[in-house]
Amino acid sequence: MSTFTSPGSCNSPSHFSRRGLMQAMGLSGISFLTPLAEQLARAAESEPKGTQPHSLIVLWMQGGPSQLETFDPHPDTEIAGGSKDGSKSIETAVKGVHISENLPLVAEQMESISLVRSIVSKEGDHERATYYVKNGYRPDPTLVHPSLGAIICHQTQDNLEIPRHVSLLPNTWAARGGYLGDQFDAFKSQDPLGPVPDVRARVPEPRFEQRIKDLSVVEGAFARGRLKNLDEGRTLHRSSVEAARKMMSSEQLAAFDVSKSPEALRKEFGDTSFGRCCLAALQLVEVGVRCVEIRLDSWDSHANNHEFCRQLNTTLDPAFASLIKHLRERKLLDRTMILWAGEFGRTPRINGLGGRDHWPHGFSMAVAGGGIAGGRVIGETSPEPKLDEKNRLQDVADPRAVEDVHATILTAFGIDRQKEIQTPIGRPMALSQGKPIRELLV
């Protein structure tokens, strides 16, 4: 029996809805939802009324971070790895909300962060799951869906000289424009200690200018006898050359550079490549960049899970916490939303190598900042899961689909999530097939 039965390719809203999941839960007799979670989950069931965010920063945890060693710990249980060696939790700034003991700085910022601990998906393969979580639709061979960042850029307008959509430390699955067009692909850049790629001319300016002048001679020869509006209507060559040159000389490029930031500030972010990227993201949203994606790799902890997670949390903790703190200090937190997510979670059992395997049946995401009510927790995973393959949902309270997070974010940005876009082949496609998680919205 195939597992591929969600409407990944048909855009039908009827199969994977929250209501359906809730009904399924009801049938499965969920009994472990705590009063606190229930209280938090029922808070603020209303339309967003706070300030709309301007920018989105996606902290992308490639490999699938363990929910148990990040935002959904179950200390002193078997699934934590036992009461002796198992992972522990700490209190946060929000009473009753505990997270991993290895995220103490993030814990201090918890009033600005909300958690969804009950994300369920059917994609357990890195590539397919990455596609699903980044784009809000399951892979569809007939279509490439746009990422959240691409949709937000497509639905808004800015007057920037540098790219509005940026991916820092990308791998081959960086955020894409999909059917919206590759002009909405994220601009890829590496560690901000190094130069921004391809923005410096390789020859002195006068020589570069001469090259551009000569280019117009060749362009003129090519345009002769062709379509009337060849450049504007088809190739966009001249406009892309002009925009590229504008970017090359833009002062806004400095936002990518953290080398001039005070050393103390860099250290506060952790002074790792991920930390430096978070600092760069702060600078980028400050100049008006819409969407920044930052990748923290190596969460694929099939062996030695606890040590893996401890190390990665050492990188994540100062960067994530400092990002929130400095966005607030610079009065940018209200206009910047942060999404912390990976492609799936990890199994609630430790394997023979001390690792955890892929687990899309109940994992965590965190959202913070603009448009988001902080300190809330949606859903729960069972501390004593039954792990029945035929009824995964019985181990998850208040399950939410990946696309519901997308719908929530788009709603917070004031974007009509149900708006249909015509794909290049004329197929109408809703921006999101999810339903907003109202409890998260301000």
Partner 1 sequence: MWQRNLLFAVVCLFGFGMLASNILLRDHVPTPRSFEPSRFGNLTNVSSSATPANKQPEPKNDWQATLLKLNAEFEAKWTGEGLQTTPRAGDLTLARRLSLGLTGTIPSLEEIRALEQLPEGQRLEWWTSRLLEDRRFGNYVGERLARVYVGTEDGPLIRFRRSRFVEWISDQLLAHRPYDEMAQEMIGSNGLWTNNPALNFITVTTTEANKEQPDEVRLAARTVRAFLALRIDCLQCHDDNLGTNHLGDDGAPRESKQQDFHQLAAFFAPAKVGLTGIQESKDEYNFKYLRGEKEELVPAKVPYGDDLMSPGGSRRQQLARWTTHAGNKPFARAIVNRMWAIVCGRPLVEPIDEIPLHGPYPPGMEILAEDFVAHGHDLQRLIRLISASEPFLRSSTADFEITQQHEKGWAAFPLSRLQPQQMAGAMIQSSSLNTLDEKNAHIIWLLAKSQQTQQFVQRYGDLGEDEFTDRGGTIPQRLLLMNGELVQERTTQNLIANAATRIVVVTPSAEAAIDAAYLAVLTRRPTAEEREVFVPRLAAARRADRRVVLEDLYWVLVNSTEFSWNH
> For residue 268, what are the contacts with CB-CB under 8 A and spacing of at least 6?
318, 322
Provide the phi-psi class of 27: left if phi over 0, else alpha when psi is between -120 and 50, else beta. Answer: alpha
Does position 388 bind partner 1 by CB under 8 A? Answer: no
Contact between 287 and partner 1 per CB under 8 A: no
* Interaction of residue 253 with partner 1, rule CB under 8 A: no
Asked whether the beta carbons of 115 and 364 are under 8 A apart, the reply is yes
Nearest to 139 by CA among 176, 166, 170, 185: 176
- CA angle 360/57/377 to nearest 5° reads 50
DSSP state of 153: H
Task: Determine the 3-state secondary structure of 47 from DSSP.
Answer: coil
Closest approach of Cβ 374 to partner 1, in Å? Answer: 33
Of the candidates 76, 19, 18, 116, the residue with the CA atom closest to the CA atom of residue 373: 116
Q: Smallest distance from the beta carbon of 414 to partner 1, in angstroms?
A: 26
Of 14-33, which residues contact partner 1 (CB under 8 A)?
14-15
Indicate which single residue of 26, 29, 35, 141 sits in contact with partner 1 (rule: CB under 8 A).
141
Least separation in angstroms between CB 426 and partner 1: 9
By CB under 8 A, tell whether 9 contacts partner 1: yes
159 lies in the binding site for partner 1 (CB under 8 A): no
Q: Is residue 3 involved in binding partner 1 (CB under 8 A)?
A: yes
**Which 206-225 positions form the footprint of partner 1 (CB under 8 A)?**
207, 210-211, 214-215, 217-225
* Residue 256 near residue 275, CB atoms below 8 Å: no
Verify binding: residue 349, partner 1, rule CB under 8 A: no
Give the nearest distance from C-beta 413 to partner 1 in angstroms: 23
140 near partner 1 (CB under 8 A): yes
- Shortest distance, CB of residue 144 to partner 1, whole angstroms? 5
- The residues, any chain, with a CB within 8 Å of residue 148's CB and separated by 6 or more, are 56, 58, 134, 135, 136, 175, 291, 339, 406, 409, 410
Q: Shortest distance, CB of residue 369 to partner 1, whole angstroms? A: 27
First CA to last CA across the chain, in angstroms? 42
Binding mask 302-341 for partner 1 (x = CB under 8 A): ----------------------------------------
Task: Quickly list DSSP for 37-48.
Answer: HHHHHHTT-S--
CB of 212 to partner 1, least distance (A): 9
Sole binder of partner 1 in the list 185, 268, 343, 380 (CB under 8 A) = 185
CB of 256 to partner 1, least distance (A): 13
- Asked if residue 236 binds partner 1 (CB under 8 A), the reply is yes
The residue (of 225 and 262) whose beta carbon lies closer to partner 1 is 225
Interface with partner 1 (CB under 8 A), residue total: 73
CA 221, 222, 228, 234 dihedral sign is: negative
Q: How far is CA 249 from CA 158, 191, 203, 243, 352, in A?
A: 18, 21, 14, 10, 55
